Amino acid sequence: MKLYNTRTRGVEEFAPLRAGEVRIYVCGLTPSAQAHLGHARSFLFFDVLRRYLAHRGYRVTYVQNVTDIDDRSINAARETGEDYHAIVERYYAEFKEAMRKLGVAEYDHEPYATRYIEPIQAMIRELVAGEHAYVARDGIYYRVSTFASYGRLANRNVDELEAGARIEVDEQKEDPLDFALWKFAKPGEPEWPFEPYGAGRPGWHIECSAMARALLDPAGKGFDIHGGGADLIFPHHENEIAQSEPLMARPPMANFWVHGGLLLFDNRKMAKSLGNFEPLCDLLARHDPQAIRWLFLQTGYRKVMNFTEDSISAAALGLARIKAAYRSAAPTTDGELEGSPELDARMEAALDDDLNTAAALAVLYDVVSREAPSRERLAYWLGVLGVAPDESWLEEPAARLAPDFIDRLQRALREARIDAAHEAIEGATPLEAIERVVALRDDARRAKDWPASDKLRDALQRCGIDVKDSKEGSSWSVAASTP
């Protein structure tokens, strides 16, 4: 399998450091506010990566931390008067529920920074002993000048970085690039004792270095994959490397550094200040979570991706095609997982290529349009992509319609004076009838016959069928409140 490595800036053949085993650390959420879809994108990608590595036969250990002590959660606690633990727990529980809906598998380890204070302090002691860190009036800082390859991950030189850095008025550091490992206690903030230096709390960067070492690499010989969103490359991941590697028996800290691309919303970053903020849990209430996942799978994980309401409708349409194929596929009779050598080979070729999920979806579309893979094999590969079919996939979408659906649709079409449509559904099943009317409406739209298109949509709607349009075509669903 080939994977893009930020550390070497190239696509490389992936091989684990220990035979048969892959160790992954991904920087997790800072639950100081509600999560949005941008937060979720890279977590969804890493979920597919670990599922695929498991398919390839590796035993995967996946760690994703929780930054449960942070300036932002402390500020939120100060503003609302609520305990910061309660704030973190609430937002994190909401995030985990969203991940569950999106089909993200449970992590093997989910370390909370505040439960790793001892390993964090041990690491700071070692850095101070090696003169990589120094004690200032307001905290303990990392001395960047002691780490010769600082800036290598971000591909930036120190002079350039120095020019962009600054010292905040309340910071007592030697150099603008130096960063805090430990912040001495301030009144009203959570604090932990730390002899002989002084009580306080850890900085964000050292938390990840210490938790990764404790859980994946106590021997200091490196682990396989360190991941996160592309916005974490600098300074967070650069700083993790600077803290970890001087203490290691055999650097690098991680063999592969893997980063997911950013997500834009209507071509802008999502932010409360821009007025386009939608919490992840609200978005998941409006859309099928599997369709959201499908949308991410359609785009290469490293590309900047633009999310629009249209793009989610198109993804839902694509997923509906696969669901229909799944419904009509024959279950394997002997109950065994019957391999489908062609499907397997093509899916592996796509995913071996730097986890090209867009190519993998193209393979699925192609396979279901030409042949009938067994339902189990299709389900297997959908599972690798994290879109596992459930009971609802076998339900005919038209099963929830009233028994007299055809009569009612015919009446509605007759009243709308659309004879062609009325004739087209003569003798059809409900499913065929809907497909035919939607196709006629697509024809009308292409011919820019908007009155006919509107009438056909109204007729369907009156019979409990919602039609959604996007650039790629129209999709339909049975309305939630079917008459």
Q: Which residues bind Zn ion (CB under 5 A)?
A: 27, 208
Which CB atom, from 208 or from 317, has the smaller least distance to Zn ion? 208
Q: Which of 313, 102, 68, 393 lies closest to 204 in space, CA to CA?
A: 68
Structure tokens at 415: 């009243």
Position 4: which residue type? Y
Residues 71, 204 contacting (CB under 8 angstroms): no
The residue count of the chain comes to 483
Structure tokens at 270: 């999502």
Which CB atom, from 223 or from 294, has the smaller least distance to Zn ion? 223
Beta-carbon contacts of 24 under 8 Å, excluding residues fewer than 6 positions away, are 46, 49, 50, 60, 61, 62, 63, 223, 224, 225, 226, 227
Which CB atom, from 208 or from 322, has the smaller least distance to Zn ion? 208
> Smallest gap, in angstroms, from Cβ of residue 110 to Zn ion?
14
> Smallest gap, in angstroms, from Cβ of residue 235 to Zn ion?
11
> Smallest gap, in angstroms, from Cβ of residue 287 to Zn ion?
29
The full DSSP string for 419-443 is HHHHHHTTT--HHHHHHHHHHHHHH
Which CB atom, from 255 or from 410, has the smaller least distance to Zn ion? 255
Q: How many CB atoms lie within 10 A of CB 125?
A: 15
Q: In which order are the strands placed within the sheet that holds 200-202? A: 133-135, 139-142, 179-184, 200-202
> Smallest gap, in angstroms, from Cβ of residue 425 to Zn ion?
57
Which CB atom, from 238 or from 348, has the smaller least distance to Zn ion? 238
Distances (CA, A) of 252 to 8, 157, 220, 247, 431: 12, 19, 9, 11, 58
> Smallest gap, in angstroms, from Cβ of residue 286 to Zn ion?
31
> Smallest gap, in angstroms, from Cβ of residue 245 to Zn ion?
15
Which CB atom, from 244 or from 410, has the smaller least distance to Zn ion? 244
Cα–Cα distance measured from residue 197 to residue 184, given in angstroms and rounded to the nearest whole number: 9
Which CB atom, from 244 or from 374, has the smaller least distance to Zn ion? 244
> Smallest gap, in angstroms, from Cβ of residue 204 to Zn ion?
7
Which CB atom, from 69 or from 478, has the smaller least distance to Zn ion? 69
Which CB atom, from 27 or from 29, has the smaller least distance to Zn ion? 27
> Smallest gap, in angstroms, from Cβ of residue 193 to Zn ion?
24
Phi, psi of 415 (to 5 degrees): -65, -30
**Chain-centre distance of CA 298, in angstroms?**
13
> Smallest gap, in angstroms, from Cβ of residue 257 to Zn ion?
12
> Smallest gap, in angstroms, from Cβ of residue 84 to Zn ion?
19
- Long-range contacts, 478-482 (Cβ 8 Å, 24+): 478/397, 478/398, 478/400, 478/401, 482/400, 482/401, 482/402
Which CB atom, from 69 or from 208, has the smaller least distance to Zn ion? 208
Which CB atom, from 227 or from 261, has the smaller least distance to Zn ion? 227
Structure tokens at 190: 């959570």
Which CB atom, from 27 or from 347, has the smaller least distance to Zn ion? 27
Q: How many CB atoms lie within 10 A of CB 25?
A: 29
Helices (H), 6-129: 37-55, 71-80, 84-101, 117-129
Q: Which of 423, 417, 459, 419 lies closest to 438 in space, CA to CA?
A: 459
Residues 395, 478 contacting (CB under 8 angstroms): no
> Smallest gap, in angstroms, from Cβ of residue 59 to Zn ion?
23
> Smallest gap, in angstroms, from Cβ of residue 216 to Zn ion?
13
Q: Which of 3, 61, 75, 2 lies closest to 32 in space, CA to CA?
A: 75
| Cα dihedral 430→433→434→440 (10° resolution) | 180
